[in-house]
Amino acid sequence: MADKTIATVQKIETYITTDPEFTPFYMDKTDFLKEEMAFRGLKS
């Protein structure tokens, strides 16, 4: 992922954690967080 995409994904993670009422109905929070964590592991 490019730097701008990484920043967007991190913002989404913050939004769905702090304001879960804005999470789209089609988005599975658990899967999103699992995939984002996996990406962080690959990046480091």
Tens digit of each residue's pLDDT (9 = 90 or more) over 1-44: 677 888 888 899 999 999 999 888 999 999 998 988 888 887 76
For the residues of 1-44, what is the DSSP string, one character each?
--HHHHHHHHHHHHHHHH-GGGS-TT--HHHHHHHHHHHHHHH-
pTM of model > 0.85: no
Contact 36, 5 (CB under 8 A): no
The rounded distance, in Å, linking the Cα atoms of 12 and 3 is 14
**pLDDT for residue 44:** 64
Alpha-carbon torsion 31, 37, 39, 41, what sign? negative
